[in-house]
Amino acid sequence: RLLHNSMYFLTCFCCSHPTSCCSVAEIMSVLFFHTMKYRPDDPSNPSNDRFILSKGHAAPVLYAVWAETGYLKESELLNLRKVDSILEGHPVPKQQFVDVATGSLGQGLGAACGMAYTGKYFDKASYRVFCLLGDGEMSEGSVWEAMAFASYYQLDNLVAILDINRLGQSDPTPLQHHVEKYQRRCEAFGWHAVIVDGHSVEELCKVLNQPRHQPLAIIAKTIKGKGIPAAEDKMGWHGKPLPKDMAESVIKELQSRILSCNKRLYPSPPNEDASPVSLRNIRMPSAPSYKAGDKIATRKAYGIALAKLGRYNEHVVALDGDTKNSTFSELFKNEHPNRYVECYIAEQNMVSVAIGCAVRDRNVVFASTFATFFTRAYDQLRMAAISESNINLCGSHCGVSIGEDGPSQMGLEDLAMFRAIPTATVFYPSDGVSTEKAVELAANTKGLCFIRTSRPENSIIYNCNEDFHVGQAKVVYKTNDDHVTVVGAGVTLHEALAAAEQLKKDRINIRVIDPFTIKPLDSKTIIDNARATRGRIITVEDHYYEGGLGEAVCSAVVNETGFTVHRLAVSQVPRSGKPHELLRIFGIDRDAIAHAVRKVLSSSANAK
């Protein structure tokens, strides 16, 4: 019992969630010093068993474990949550022994599914994945999405340990200590579920040694605050450090037991059967093969590009949420079925699985669905940023241009959503060539990458040898005497080009810019070209006004004197209709652009 006693000591002494840590001390002891196979001096070893602390507020017990292994100095534990320490209040990957950030509850099991799927089907290695969940987060639907995924794919290398300590933060949990109900629920989702006394080292060792034929759920009945008499199984202690006198009393009692035994346990080494992986230089084998005048929807160009990338790069994998015949990720599935993961209509879990598949740089991951459905997974996306995850998301069916399906299917908030994520790169390609280039660039760009694709077919506008870079815009139409700079993307770029032809008949010339990436935005190209049009800029986007292309351009030119930005965007919740009707109704088609140009020029003339 030395190890769990020492963890009591460490967590009681220095943490703000001592009761949550104490309920899992025996579980952590058994996992890390009996069951898991790993090299404590090399936490990132690809053959190590994996561990995710989904109940991330219990981070101090995780840090105590790694101090027991010798990887952390015990003195470092006393710096917990200090600004100059790596030991933050919740686990983050700046700690080498942490694969994904946790703390927003209900997400750890989904990431564990991605890691287990990678281990079983991609790496074909023997490492196992262990995820420790709190009973409070079992109310999150994302947990049950992950449960269904693991059962469907028979992830027998995955173990979920449920810490059923009865008490949440402000109330008892809904099922409290009715562990049989948890068992029946897990079994209903296709897991082998076993109830144990979570404070019995013997029971934990026995169940973790059982043969595996399906995902295993260990339902551990525990006491919150175990080992702290005044706090055991009592409300009001969640997230609170012990008062000094109480902590000293508990520590004194535990020290008497710790010092009476100097035996030390060491984890078993892993089977070194996870092959090294290199994700450098994931490139297309050739330039795009489109011809001038061809028409293709960027959503289809995405599928073609992804299949092509996968053809020459064996570590590219694709996920989708039952929209593969709309996002065209089915082209990847048809060509590379062993590297395609169907996540069905569970977008939260799909993003978590993507995060799990990408950890330790095992795969280049692309996940796709309608752009609007990523809103459902926004918490998972922001946690992906905190996890320093490298994942690529493709959102199709953006804007009113999808037509008859109506507003529930129209991605009109997605640019704002992804622009707000600090690690995100936002691609908005406008033809087949730029879409293929976006896919290749995303595969080699750190952080989250979002590729926004459209439903309508549009003409190829770029030469197949055109060079593209993140943060580099393209001037796609210009003369020596342009009056207004128009910035459009996707379908609105083509509308802007059509407006340019209309206006030319009246001897009004406009300069048309394709930003290619909305984040980072090529401010220099926009500013330099807008100067040539006396600071007159019009932005046009198939997106709501808030947070999209127009606001990005406004931010880029805010410090420029003499610049004006006139914005065209979708101003209200749209409706069903034909694409061209909706572009006209919401004032983002060629006629609206031409009218806006004339209005801007008229205002400039009147100002003089």
* Catalytic center residues: 347
Query: Residue 153 in contact with residue 112, Cβ under 8 Å?
Result: no
Strand partners, 451: 394, 427
Strand partners, 268: 37
List, in order, residues 6 or more apart from 142 with CB less than 8 Å away: 106, 107, 109, 110, 348, 349, 352, 380
The secondary structure element, H or E, covering residue 130 is strand 129-134
Give the whole-angstrom CA distance, residue 55 versus residue 27: 13
Query: Residue 343 in contact with residue 474, Cβ under 8 Å?
Result: no
Cα distance from N-terminal residue to C-terminal residue, the chain: 86
Query: Residue 541 in contact with residue 411, Cβ under 8 Å?
Result: no
Give the whole-angstrom CA distance, residue 115 versus residue 100: 10
Cis amide linkage into residue 520, ω under 30° from 0? yes
Three-state SS for 36?
coil
- Give φ, ψ of 459 to 5 degrees: -70, 150
Strands 517-519 and 424-427: antiparallel
User: Is the dihedral angle over the CA atoms 342, 347, 349, 352 positive or is it negative?
Assistant: positive
Helices 347-358 and 108-117: crossing angle in degrees, nearest 10, is 50
Give the whole-angstrom CA distance, residue 503 versus residue 602: 14
Give the whole-angstrom CA distance, residue 434 versus residue 438: 6
Alpha carbon separation from 395 to 247, 296, 328 (Å, rounded): 52, 17, 11
Count Cβ atoms within 10 A of the Cβ of residue 11 and give its class: 0-12 exposed, 13-18 middle, 19 or more buried: buried
List, in order, residues 6 or more apart from 90 with CB less than 8 Å away: 56, 57, 59, 101, 102, 103
Three-state SS for 387?
coil
Give the whole-angstrom CA distance, residue 140 versus residue 158: 19
List, in order, residues 6 or more apart from 298 with CB less than 8 Å away: 429, 430, 431, 432, 435, 453, 454, 458, 490
Give the whole-angstrom CA distance, residue 414 versus residue 527: 25
